[in-house]
Amino acid sequence: MTAMDDHVVHDHLVDARVLVNEVEGHLLVEAARADGRTAAERFTGRLPWLTDAQRAEVERCYAEEHLELTRHGWRHIARRTGQVRAEYEETYQLLRRRLLVRCQVAFGCLLAVVLMLGLTGR
């Protein structure tokens, strides 16, 4: 396999991921719309005095508001996920640096002991 083949395979994987993300997004929106319609029908079911036209309008408005609130929630979750990811990456880098420093100190101590034992053994 050549570098060009690797590039083509990588492009196809990226394209597939983009397609999967788009399909997943579409399915999430459709599920939210269905949830909104169901909730709207339950809500208007408790309002028997509405005419058919009023019921349809209330259900439409309710479903639109439900979808907008759902999208707002998704945006909030996406922002918070980014914040948490940044916090975890920062903590990971800090712990990694601490571990590296401790390993270097331990190696230095071990090297010093070996050198001292080597010098005293002569």
Model confidence at 119, pLDDT cuts 50, 70, 90, reads: confident
Q: Please, is 63 exposed, middle or buried when counting C-beta atoms within 10 Å of its C-beta (0-12, 13-18, 19+)?
A: buried
CB 63 within 8 A of CB 89: no
Per DSSP, the residues of 21-78 read HHHHHHHHHHHHHHHHHHHHHHHHHT-TT--HHHHHHHHHHHHHHHHHHHHHHHHHHH
pLDDT in tens, 43-93: 999 999 999 999 999 999 999 999 999 999 999 999 999 999 999 999 999
Model confidence at 4, pLDDT cuts 50, 70, 90, reads: low
* pLDDT for res 109: 96
Mean pLDDT across 4-32: 81
Cα separation, 99 vs 73, in Å, equals: 38
Average pLDDT value over all residues in the chain: 91
Model confidence at 15, pLDDT cuts 50, 70, 90, reads: confident
